[in-house]
Chain A
Amino acid sequence: MTAARTSLHVQYDSLARQHATARLGMWVFLGSESLLFAGLFALYAAYRFVYPAEFHAASAHANVVLGTINTYLLLTSSLTVALAIHATRRGHRRRTVLLLGATIALGLAFDVLKAIEYAGHLADGIAPGGYYAFAGLPAHGVVLYVTLYYLLTGMHALHVTGGLCMLAWLTWRAHRGDFTPQSHIALELGGLYWHLVDLVWIFLWPLIYLIR
């Protein structure tokens, strides 16, 4: 919608208004997205309330190290994407491309670590739903934590991956020179989306790894 050429569309009377509208649309979209996660958070809260001890026991098996590394990776990637927008505003095209590339690299690293984490859990039998086979803890209640863990992080990882595709496309456009200091709304919106992905993780990290 907003990402194409930064030409003025017929229904707007100025480019500034068009961009403001795109920004508003993006914020509404982000609000809607966060409600998708809110549903899962609500489930988490409800089940944690019912099974505090099980959740406590289960979260002890979460991989805090990987989770924490991932947190730093994502936070750093938020910084790089913000710097990329900053660089565009200053008109540094090459720096923009490099910073976006760094963001993509960090996001990919996040996905890879996530996959390693999953693999480790699955090897232990910590699998969701009916596939739960972990000998260390009885399934009842614990399996809800595990399933929610997979659902929450899985959905988040999907968002990360989607965001990476979007960033790749933005990088290509930045490389092509689509973005000018005055007009780079697509990049701005991409950055917003990436921050949301980051923000969701900021909630996931304590819920899954830290709260005991």
Chain B
Amino acid sequence: MNELLRRLLHLPAQRSSMARAVDMLHYSVILATMAGVALAAIVTAIFLFRYRRRTTAIPLTPKVRAPAWLELLVIGGLLGLFGVWWVIGFAQYRVLETPPADAIPVYVTAKQWMWKFAYPSGPTATDELVVPVGRPVKLIMTSRDVIHSFYVPEFRIKQDVVPGRAVTTWFEATDPGTYEILCTQYCGTRHSFMRAQVIALAADDYARWLDAARAPLALPGAKGDGQATARRDRASTSAVASEANDTTGGMAGGTAAGEPGGAIAALGPGATLAERGHQIAAERGCLRCHSVDGTPFIGPTWANAFGRRRATADGGDVLVDEAYLTQSMMDPRAVIAAGFAPVMPSYQGALTPDETSAILEYIRALRDVHPTRVPPAPDGAITSTAAGSAATTSPAAPPSSAAPESAAPAPAAPAGPAPSSTALAPSAPTPSAPAASARTAP
């Protein structure tokens, strides 16, 4: 029945955890619509025939009043029906709009006319989002220019991506496969070409892909921020992603943690997002005011902040999440943490969306730091100057036939004007450590 109706209504396959429930509501609404319309049309047609004019004289017709019970029945019945749809629809909406706590975060930056995806563990990719099947994935999205909208028909999700805001959506793919991402908010000349894909991999394929994505590669190349091309760049990375281990649980566990530590000489494209966040935070002077070890300084510490509620100066409290942190960077005076002076300047325009994402991820990674412990140097990042070629790292098994062009050096430097290969010497005055290091132990 489900399948029949789905095909009849031309709905795409149901490939997310919510798709089936949404479709069930869809069927009931559309069938009721059809029934209601048919009823109206048939009754009208019958009346038109039954009460057709049978006289040429001036006809007199009775003044008919609908009985009150019938009016009440119609109004009450419809109100009840609509009410049920509203309740079910809103219940589903809440689920669709509220990412589960254990979702894998991926940072998404939209720009005319491409999608960029950055994983906490470091890989970045253009127009190709690789996700595991059976695990919720949370997208933390922002736009660099105009409003875009992230839409995957098979997942029944859509979210406008607004510049200057961090918006989230989530999904959990149920089947491996390749699904098209469409931009649904009109965004300019090549709006209809702004397509990308989600590649959902089975758990072990995904683990393999993560492995491969982290494997060190030595294919140097220019920064491949292809303008207005549909080129699929996949970053392969060399960095350890203990944060990813964190969130991907046992699936990828162990593969990362075992990487040998090394000093950060430079952050190549292989660095984890959190590491890049750390680097940016140091360069931009964030760490001059914010500590990462739990010590309050000029600003609140970043340690143990994420995901907790924080008292605000106006007596309320606020959940420290992506939205709040983004707001605090862009509009620091909007909500002041209790006990701190409103002295932070705005970073609106100073930080690119990619840098913002990196810092967010860094702060997120610091959510479980032991307050007193000064973390050791990051063991996650290894020296790497390599840019990745996608082909060699792309998983063989998954049904994603859209393997990136192999020969083309498709290096993916981290998006944004990142100082990609410049030496990083965290010159911040505060003792700092990349998030990853804080809790390396699996």
- Residues of chain A having any CB pair with chain B under 8 Å: 50-54, 138, 140-141
Contacts and interface: CB of A to CB of B under 8 A. Distances in A.
B348 interface: yes
Interface in B315-358: 330-331, 333-334, 342, 345-346, 348-349
| SS class, residues of chain B in contact with chain A | loop
A129 to B, nearest CB: 14
A79 B204 CA distance: 83
A53 B333 contact: yes
Given A52-B333, A53-B342, 6 more contacts: A51-B331, A53-B333, A138-B346, A140-B331, A141-B331, A141-B333
Chain B contact patch, size range: under 10
Nearest to A56: B333
Nearest to A140: B346
Q: Which 9 pairs of residues, A with B, have the shortest CB-CB distance? A: A53-B333, A140-B346, A140-B348, A53-B342, A50-B334, A138-B345, A141-B331, A138-B346, A51-B331
A149 to B, nearest CB: 19
Contact of A51 (B333, B345, B349): B333
15 contacts: A50-B331, A50-B334, A51-B331, A51-B334, A52-B333, A52-B334, A53-B333, A53-B342, A138-B345, A138-B346, A140-B330, A140-B331, A140-B346, A140-B349, A141-B333
Contacts of A141: 331, 333, 346
A88 to B, nearest CB: 53
A141 B334 CA distance: 10
Interface of B: 330-331, 333-334, 342, 345-346, 348-349
A51 B348 CA distance: 13
A53 B334 CA distance: 7
Most buried by B among A52, A54, A138, A141: A141
Contacts of B342: 53
Contacts of A140: 330-331, 346, 348-349
Contacts of B330: 140
Contacts of B334: 50-53
B333 A54 contact: yes
A50 B330 CA distance: 11
Nearest to A53: B333
Nearest to B347: A140
A140 B348 CA distance: 7
Contacts of B331: 50-51, 140-141
A140 B350 CA distance: 11
A130 B342 CA distance: 25
Contacts of A50: 331, 334
Nearest to B314: A52
Contacts of A54: 333
A138 B347 CA distance: 11
B114 to A, nearest CB: 27
A171 to B, nearest CB: 50
Nearest to A50: B334
A138 B344 CA distance: 12
A141 B346 CA distance: 9
A134 to B, nearest CB: 15
A54 B346 CA distance: 11
B359 to A, nearest CB: 17
A135 B7 CA distance: 63
Contacts of B349: 140
Nearest to B342: A53
A52 B348 CA distance: 17
A51 B333 CA distance: 7
A155 to B, nearest CB: 26
Contacts of B345: 138
Nearest to A142: B346
A61 to B, nearest CB: 17
Nearest to B348: A140
B349 to A, nearest CB: 8
Nearest to B350: A140
B354 to A, nearest CB: 20
